[in-house]
Amino acid sequence: MANEEKKDFNAMLHKENGMPKIQTVTDPATIRKYGGEKMFFAPPLAYDALMRRVPWGRLTTVGCMREYLARQNHADFTDPITAGIFMSIAAWASFQREGDETPYWRTLKANGELNPKYPGGVQAQKARLEAEGHTILQKGRTNIRYYVKDYEQKLFPLDGTV
């Protein structure tokens, strides 16, 4: 991600690009895969705002955020591609700012996996999560991945329920 530091992620974070919006999909395979035809597109700031809500020692996942945004906007699902891109933009924008940090490291991929696309890669995310009391597990022999042990027990309810 050497080129990432040359981009202005804070400018990207504030681009709405016609979002939020709901798009109707007609592809039967997509409808089967995601359970409906109403696909929600949230702007990058929506993901940043959700990341900011996750307190110290707690976690969320990309999937939890996508499900929350779909529910809140009366859609069947959110677009997975833009969700991943926009969460990465939020992370890099935070990394580039002086202060006003977004705790992006608390947002995990599926199954509690650390995100190698965040600033500093998995090692930086691992260090921040361990500093908050989480145990990180390494899995694999050649394709090594890192996961938060028992991450489900630390998930923060984005809808405010406990």
Which amino acid makes up residue 159? D
Q: What is the largest CA-CA distance in the chain?
A: 46
Mean per-residue pLDDT of the chain? 94
If pLDDT is split at 50, 70 and 90, which confidence band does 5 have? low
pLDDT score of 2 more than 60: no
pLDDT score of 1 more than 60: no
Preceding peptide of 20 cis, ω within 30°:
yes
Mean pLDDT along residues 58-85: 96
pLDDT at site 7: 87
Measure Cα distances from 82 to 96, 102, 131, 141, 150 in Å.
21, 19, 30, 31, 27
- Relative to beta strand 21-24, strand 60-61 is unpaired
pLDDT at site 4: 65
Which structure tokens are listed for 112?
């509690």
Mean pLDDT along residues 122-143: 96
Query: Cα–Cα distance between 118 and 43 in angstroms, integer?
Result: 19
Dihedral (C-alpha) 84, 85, 89, 90: value to the nearest 10 degrees?
-30
Query: Cα–Cα distance between 8 and 10 in angstroms, integer?
Result: 6
pLDDT at site 159: 87
Mean pLDDT along residues 46-74: 97
Hey, CA dihedral for 128, 9, 23, 25, is it positive or negative? negative
pLDDT score of 73 more than 90: yes
Higher-confidence residue: 111 or 99?
Answer: 111
pLDDT score of 36 more than 70: yes
